[in-house]
């Protein structure tokens, strides 16, 4: 079970991996979670997101609203990747 939640503010710990990418000691927000033996997280750090191991993160004890990242607009795509339409605030391009 993942240790961190979606939209949780986390701090990246110092480690050889995080120092290599220049992200050690930065705060970011969890936007995605993978499964597996050790979960990894998509962490937004400013303009970029990084895939970070659970062991390289620590909680800052707070969450941010999802609206800080998403405006509610969604898209539908075909299995081939073709855009089928937009919903919730976007214009429907399927007509």
Closest CA to 30 of 64, 56, 1: 64
Decide: 34 and 49 in contact? Cβ < 8 Å: no
Closest CA to 4 of 67, 55, 47: 55
Q: Is residue 19 part of a domain?
A: yes
Residue 51 belongs to domain spanning = 1-61
Q: Is residue 30 part of a domain?
A: yes
pTM, to two decimals? 0.77
CATH of the domain at 27: 2.30.30.390
Q: Is residue 28 part of a domain?
A: yes
Q: What is the pLDDT along the chain (95 residues), one digit of tens a residue?
A: 789 999 999 999 999 999 999 999 999 999 999 988 889 999 999 999 999 999 999 999 999 999 998 888 888 899 999 999 888 754 444 44
Q: Is residue 68 part of a domain?
A: no
Q: Is residue 76 part of a domain?
A: no
Q: Is residue 35 part of a domain?
A: yes
Total domain count, the chain: 1
Q: Is residue 82 part of a domain?
A: no
């Amino acid at each position: 079970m993942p240790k961190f939640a979606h939209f949780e503010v986390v701090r990246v710990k110092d480690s050889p991996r995080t120092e290599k990418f220049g992200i050690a000691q930065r705060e970011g927000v969890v936007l995605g979670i993978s499964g597996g033996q050790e979960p990894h997280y998509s962490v937004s750090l400013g303009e970029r997101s990084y895939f970070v191991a659970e062991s390289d993160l620590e909680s800052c004890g707070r969450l941010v609203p999802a609206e800080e990242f998403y405006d509610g607009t969604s898209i539908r795509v075909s299995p081939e990747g073709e855009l089928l339409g937009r919903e919730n605030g976007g214009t429907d391009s399927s007509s």
